Structure 1
């Protein structure tokens, strides 16, 4: 089991350079695999969209919560760590043109020595996507093409990369630098479409906020889609969520029994760095990452 910790965006600290640099260094010292940073290009003071991960239908973040650009934040953290995997969780694909995104992600991966994991989703906040110029209704179909565009541009193509889709079209494009290593793309989401996308195009699936029969159904859908696409379903990673303050070895074993390769651990909304590092240290001790 691998353990990733989500930077505590609800605490309003993720744009504090000293706070985040020390937090990331502490995660690395405690033996965690990765740090995960979230994305919202904009948040709205008023919105009609329904947040799917809370019964209230409202996101817990206020619209003025600092949410740094995830790739810029990971580039900053790369300079303050040596081994820690730098992950998005999730990057909202409709907010990005994939040709530009391919360059940005490859740059961070090259400069960090191959430490990027890209978890992507299609977004739930229609008002945010519209502000970014994206069509909410076609975001799933666009995402399928976006992932293919990323892989196409990251490949070593001597005469340049070409892609001809419904939404994106180009010929003989050269995008450098290339990633330092193959960048794993994980699909975030709780829908059957997300599970299918993970099986067809992803290296992993991150269905946070689901459990029981619903989770089993999504994992089965992912595996079936992989098989139908001629891919090995056993090669795909499954990342499941838990809380930093609550997980222990027993709970981690239950996640492993569900097929999880990684636990994505949410932080409480702390603002004091010492409190945050104490919570992380206690978690690492319970999991046996440090003595």
Structure 2
């Protein structure tokens, strides 16, 4: 009897809300394999954005799970070797997978110019808010305050190293800004907005010190009302963030040196066979970071 062919179990999107587990052909890898973390965005061509090192802005970039490009929730996956980064022996596969969100924090804090002694205000205690907290502290921020609606997420932020947390109830943006200033003992030089909520963006503008920087990380409505003049007359720089670029080497170094601990961000783990359950868990807001483990031999943290 012929040996059964190995299966490349894959989670396939057929339409909105229609996810199915199917078997796909197994890609043929090249020789001499290593344990790697992949950067999901790989340029298709060397355009003007690639030439200046900002390939994340290339309009033709390949990016996993961004139509028309397939994602990589499957047993076997082939990727551009230039965007596969070897993992040190003391960095786990799970930590390697978390380089992707960690890279958002690195890219944001780089663009914000976070440096030694800064006061930083992070709006939102979800996974992206927390990686920005971790990176800001690693880059030398003296004090970081994190705001959110959820008490449980703020508890995670405190566990991750936030100096102060503030649960938002029905305060106005100006009141939030005043409370942030009170906690930090002054206005923050950097505000990192990770929710996309109009009120949070407004609070970020009011809170940031004159000459400071507001980073827009969270994506919300296309059109929002903001006190733009309040930013303009105080020279508050407003910068956007789109994915990341040139971050994987730094992220790997931070993990290998134990400068950041991302393990606590993962609250739920599911094997690939239970991927639909994983998405339902995330949809219901039951977890912070839900991990799908595609390798049947790597189900532990």
TM-score (structure 1 length as normaliser) = 0.29
Q: Which has the larger radius of gyration?
A: 2
Q: Which has the higher contact order (CA 8 A, sep 6+)?
A: 1
TM-score (structure 2 length as normaliser) = 0.28
Q: Which has the higher helix share?
A: 1
